[in-house]
Amino acid sequence: MAVKNAQAAEPRLSSRTLWAILFALLLGGLLVVVAAAEIGIRLLQTKKYGSAATVEQYYTVDQRIDLRVPIANLRTARIETNSLGFRGPEIRMPKPPGAVRIAFLGASTTWCAEVSGNAMVWPHLVAEDLRRAFPQGDIDYVNGGVPGYTARSSLKNLEHRVAPLQPDVIVIYHATNDMSAELRRLAAARGIVRDTKGEAPSWLSRHSLLWNLAEKNLRIWFAQRKAEQNAGRLEVDAASLGNGFRDDLLALVRRAQKEARVVAVATFATRLRRGQSDEEQLQAAASALYYMPFMTPRGLVDAYERYNQVIREVTRETGTLLIDGDADIPGDPQHFTDSVHFTDAGSRAMATRISGALARSPEVRAVFAR
């Protein structure tokens, strides 16, 4: 009887307490899995890119000129900047007599974060090609490309950071950021998107690499589904695009002509092409749809072609060297990591395109003959 009473006196957990313990265990297990995944993603990125930092951590704002610029003396497994904050080797200052200096102005497609290292960035490869083409020349280069730049940003970059380095040849490569900004303005004006800057990353995305990747991929997936359904689509006549880009590119070219003996402008290459199947276009447009989810792949093809038309018109108006042949780079995943950024093979093809046009140019040859 005493034993039964003792057993009856033992405390028993209520069902609510049991559920609370179970929930805590499940939550703890989930947090462990998420933490492990976060650590794993960071280790993989560090192994592949040499750093687990997000791309924004590579830049600072130069308060003197109110412009975002790369951090000087940056060192990762793939990216190195010099003491002036340009991607590439140190730039000799003062410029040696007789040296030929080539400056490249552009955005992320000139900076080339996606290639395996500084040696595979296409401006670097162009300089190497020209050293072989003109073995008597003393050639160096300035990679003035910075992710996120538009033609207007490059004008400020030229005026304050590149012009003092006395370039002899300037190569300009712009389109996609100007086009994205114009299309977002049109979409905002028509109420398709809420603002012109695009949806900002969430707090979690800024602090978790795992969530950052998941959020970007989800946005791309939703953008692709909308494109398939033509939902929230921006209808625009491509012929009406590019007027602001024309003005900004024209101002950039005119200023470049004051600083260098030769100015060249290259048409913009994309993985997205006319004549691809619907599925191929959808895959090729993935990153472009991330920034312009209101567009369709075919609408993007029309817009890119219009911007290249503007580039050709500006070179005719200014008498600058046009580097055409954007379609010579195959529009496939072997040459592009996404809609516009190059793989190593794409960077090599881009360099061949640029260096070949420069080496054939009588104006460039005159620079070396001098």
DSSP conformational letter for 16: H
> Does 332 map to a domain?
yes
More confident residue, 264 or 233: 264
Question: Any bridge partners for residue 173, and if so which?
Answer: 106
Boundaries of domain holding 74 = 55-369
> Does 25 map to a domain?
no
More confident residue, 21 or 332: 332
Choose among 84, 83, 268, 108: nearest CA to 163: 84
**The dihedral sign for the CA sequence 197, 203, 208, 212:** negative
Q: How many other C-beta atoms are found inside a 10 Å radius of the C-beta of residue 238?
A: 16
> Does 39 map to a domain?
no
pLDDT band at 227 (very low <50, low <70, confident <90, very high): very low
Residue 211: the pLDDT is: 58
Q: Which residues contact 274 (CB under 8 A, 6 or more apart)?
A: 301, 305
Q: Average pLDDT in the 13-17 region?
A: 74
Segment 144-185, tens digit of pLDDT: 999 999 999 999 999 999 999 999 999 999 999 999 999 999
> Does 20 map to a domain?
no
Segment 250-259, tens digit of pLDDT: 999 999 999 9
> Does 4 map to a domain?
no
- Assign residue 249 the CATH number of its domain: 3.40.50.1110
Split into its structural domains, the chain has a count of 1
> Does 12 map to a domain?
no
* Residue 111 Cα distances to 80, 142, 160, 173, 265, angstroms: 11, 11, 18, 11, 16
Structure tokens at 307: 């911007």
* CB 284 within 8 Å of CB 272: yes
> Does 98 map to a domain?
yes
Task: State the alpha helices, DSSP H only, in the chain.
Answer: 2-9, 15-49, 108-111, 122-133, 151-157, 176-189, 203-207, 209-229, 243-259, 278-284, 286-291, 297-318, 344-360, 362-369
Residues in the chain: 370
> Does 16 map to a domain?
no
